[in-house]
Chains A and B, each alone.
Chain A
Amino acid sequence: MINLSSVKKKEDCCCTPQKNKNFLARTPEITGQAVKSLSNITRERPEWVTGILNTRSGLVPIVTTEWTRTDRIGQIRSRLGGYRMNYSVRPGLYAVGAPDSSSDVFISANYKLSFDILRRALRGISGWILVLDTRGINVWCAAGKGTFGTDELARRILGVNLAGLVSHRRIIVPQLGAAGVRASVIKKQTGFHVHFGPVDAKDIQAYIRAGYHATPEMREIGFTILRRLVLVPIELNQALRKSAAAALVILIIFGLQPSGILFKSAWTGGRPFLLFCLISIITGAAITPILLPFIPVRSFALKGWLAGAAAMAPLVTLTPLGGTSALLDAAALIFFPLMSSYLALQFTGSTTFTTISGVKKELRIWLPVYIAGLAISIVIIILYKLQSWRII
């Protein structure tokens, strides 16, 4: 292991592969290149890199298994919104602890949060982490897209000369990566045998102690309240972002008068509908995901509609928000539960158990319902406007 400060002075070490050893440091250009790449590594050194290991596969950053404040803030920010789209680490080889040729090799994605969760799970042990280029996407989603895939894995294994680095021929791939990685092809192309590790990184050490064996519990992905809760901010964020247009439409509808658009009537008349809109977004994008197992139907669209109707019906019939016009009440009761339903159906993209066939089946039934509901609501609103203008 080389300390970072001493590394800078040592001009004879370099990140070119071992086979070029005799060629190294003989020409000024190569020495210069080596120093330059080394200073790049040290200058851009993130806090979680604690040193550099000189290996047969070149210079490998040593990473800590501890999380700093920056890592924790990064996790929170990436769970809230767009920050996660640029939350990545450089693909390649990393070291944890003081690994040697017998140490395990863990495969990960270059989404920083995936990488962080893995290195935290390796506390107390030594090993190698091989990070694939998944364009900053987590293991499971990337496996679905094929970027956490057979080709990329084989390329990285060969690219870092893993066979020269470790004496065994075993790599631990996260189980959820299996949707993108064909173990038999990896074996054929690289000689490495893929062991699919547990679903949760926190079980890795127990998995290794058990002789690379996962219990059925370690193999199963649940969808606990906690797992659902962490998804809610993103769902809300995305739904609310699109709701600005809906709010504008509501204000225009209510503000529209024969004499033009009046801001006063837009605001006073539109207020209940703006509130309905907000409530149906929260119901569809937050309440339905949270109450998921407690809404006693399997269809997500129906779950969302039931939750939306349960929220809207009392608001429209029992509070002063409704009751000003039977037409408006009807439009609200038709439109907003369907909006909750649509948003709840979007949540299928984030669950751990819904299927593409199922979502297609739901859409075949519900898409016509959404379109019909929207059309009926528009007709009712037009009737309401004509009535309020005393045309009919």
Chain B
Amino acid sequence: MKYLKNAATLTFDPDRCTGCRRCVEVCPHCVFEMHDGKARITDKDRCMECGACALNCEFGAISVGSGVGCAAAIIRSMITGGEPTCDCGAASSGAKTTDCC
């Protein structure tokens, strides 16, 4: 299953890539593959913007805008002007516990 075409914000800079394979290891959608000792993107539309590759790329070759992809959280952030956060992590603080993940 794929989501919208050309919506993912994933970018990859092959010049910075050292071929360490971390991105291939962490990506849950096999977006990266190895080619001639370097990583390359197979299909950007498979990217779900979880951010694991960018976080684990020591060489800054990958960037992706990641965040909570929950519609209710995004609508809330549109209203409040903050970053989208789903409130299920706030269980211990006694906050409202509904929605997403």
Whether A196 lies near B68 (C-beta < 8 A) is: no
Q: Which of A184, A298, A346, A353 contacts B58 (CB 8 A)?
A: A184
Whether B55 lies near A179 (C-beta < 8 A) is: yes
> Shortest beta-carbon distance, A290 to chain B, in Å?
13
> Which of A91-99, A137-145, A313-321 is found at the contact surface with chain B?
A137-145
Whether B29 lies near A353 (C-beta < 8 A) is: yes
Which A residues are CB-close (under 8 A) to B27?
A: 219
Known A-B contacts A135-B89, A184-B56, A355-B49; the reply to A144 vs B68 at CB < 8 A is yes
Known A-B contacts A178-B52, A292-B1; the reply to A349 vs B99 at CB < 8 A is yes
> Shortest beta-carbon distance, A60 to chain B, in Å?
25
Which B residues are CB-close (under 8 A) to A357?
A: 7-9, 49, 65
A residues 72-86 in Cβ contact with B at 8 Å: 82, 85-86
A356, CB-defined interface residue at 8 Å: yes
Whether B101 lies near A363 (C-beta < 8 A) is: no
Residue of A with least CB distance to B7: A358
Which A residues are CB-close (under 8 A) to B86?
A: 141, 145, 349
Which B residues are CB-close (under 8 A) to A349?
A: 68-73, 86, 99-101
Known A-B contacts A356-B67, A357-B9, A358-B7; the reply to A367 vs B75 at CB < 8 A is yes
Whether A352 lies near B28 (C-beta < 8 A) is: yes
A residues 360-380 in Cβ contact with B at 8 Å: 360-363, 367
Which A residues are CB-close (under 8 A) to B29?
A: 220-221, 353
**CA–CA, A356 and B92, complex, Å:** 26
Whether B56 lies near A354 (C-beta < 8 A) is: no
Whether A353 lies near B3 (C-beta < 8 A) is: yes
Q: Which of A175, A298, A342 contacts B26 (CB 8 A)?
A: A175
Chain A residues bordering chain B, tally (CB within 8 A): 56
> Shortest beta-carbon distance, B38 to chain A, in Å?
18
> Shortest beta-carbon distance, A165 to chain B, in Å?
25
Q: Which of A182, A360, A363 contacts B55 (CB 8 A)?
A: A182
Residue of A with least CB distance to B51: A179
Q: Which of A214, A299, A346 contacts B70 (CB 8 A)?
A: A346
Whether A196 lies near B25 (C-beta < 8 A) is: yes
Instruction: Tell me what chain B mostly uses at the interface: helix, strand, loop, or mixed.
Output: loop
Whether B89 lies near A355 (C-beta < 8 A) is: no
B residues 59-95 in Cβ contact with A at 8 Å: 65-75, 78, 84-86, 88-89, 91-92
Whether A238 lies near B99 (C-beta < 8 A) is: yes
Which A residues are CB-close (under 8 A) to B88?
A: 85, 137, 141
Q: Which of A85, A140, A145, A223 contacts B97 (CB 8 A)?
A: A85
Which A residues are CB-close (under 8 A) to B24?
A: 219
Whether B28 lies near A355 (C-beta < 8 A) is: no
**CA–CA, A82 and B78, complex, Å:** 26
**CA–CA, A322 and B65, complex, Å:** 46
> Shortest beta-carbon distance, B10 to chain A, in Å?
9
| Chain A 160-190 interface 0/1 with B at a Cβ cutoff of 8 Å (1 = within) | 0000000000000001101111111000000
A348, CB-defined interface residue at 8 Å: yes
Whether B2 lies near A298 (C-beta < 8 A) is: yes
Q: Which of B28, B55, B66, B78 contacts A221 (CB 8 A)?
A: B28
A114, CB-defined interface residue at 8 Å: no
Which A residues are CB-close (under 8 A) to B48?
A: 352-355
Q: Which of B28, B47, B56 contacts A176 (CB 8 A)?
A: B28
Which B residues are CB-close (under 8 A) to A180?
A: 55
B98, CB-defined interface residue at 8 Å: yes
Residue of B with least CB distance to A147: B89
Chain A positions within 8 Å of B, measured between CB atoms, are 82, 85-86, 135-138, 140-145, 147, 175-176, 178-184, 196, 199, 214, 216, 219-221, 223, 238, 241, 292-293, 298-299, 342, 345-346, 348-350, 352-363, 367
Chain B positions within 8 Å of A, measured between CB atoms, are 1-5, 7-9, 22, 24-30, 46-52, 55-56, 58, 65-75, 78, 84-86, 88-89, 91-92, 97-101
Pairs across A and B, CB under 8 Å, 22 listed: A141-B88, A144-B50, A144-B51, A144-B66, A144-B67, A175-B52, A184-B58, A199-B28, A298-B2, A298-B3, A349-B68, A349-B86, A353-B3, A355-B47, A356-B74, A357-B8, A358-B3, A358-B4, A358-B69, A359-B74, A360-B74, A363-B74
A-B CB proximity, top 9 nearest: A349-B70, A349-B100, A178-B26, A178-B52, A141-B101, A358-B7, A355-B49, A221-B28, A179-B52
